[in-house]
Amino acid sequence: MLKADGAEGGPAWPDAAIAEALEVSVATSSAPGKRFAANGLEAATRRKPTTRAPQWKLDGAQEARLAALACSEPPLGAERWTLALLADKLVELRVVESIARDTVRVALKNEL
């Protein structure tokens, strides 16, 4: 927001320049300024609380299988379990139909 400051002495960068400097889209770089203009500083600097309930991909039994798998010997040719290897193995063992690596990460973070 400071780079977009158009007041006297402010840099007044255009949205496209800010987006390029931050390596984000123009929509992402201009959103805080729009929230500031509409609702003030508090709205621009705070994230809007989510209204959707979290959806857990794994139940307790599936998380236990994941934890046991993560503590087991890694597959041949692998020095250690990676999130991708764990996700693939859960699918291979038909513990889940599909799963993202980040879901495995979150489950392990909560479990271990």
| Residues 30 and 67 grouped into a single domain | no
| Residues 73 and 31 grouped into a single domain | no
Question: How many domains, the chain?
Answer: 2
Concatenated DSSP letters of 12-70: ---HHHHHHHHTS-HHHHHHHHHHHHHH-HHHHHSPPPP-SPP--S--HHHHHHHHHHH
| Residues 84 and 42 grouped into a single domain | no
Q: 90 pLDDT band (50/70/90 cuts)?
A: very high
| Residues 36 and 69 grouped into a single domain | no
| Residues 71 and 92 grouped into a single domain | yes
| Residues 70 and 34 grouped into a single domain | no
pLDDT one-digit tens code per residue, 70-88: 999 999 999 999 999 999 9
pLDDT one-digit tens code per residue, 37-60: 888 888 888 877 777 766 677 888
| Residues 80 and 103 grouped into a single domain | yes
Expressed as residue numbers, the domain containing 106 is 60-111
Q: What's the pLDDT at 93? A: 96
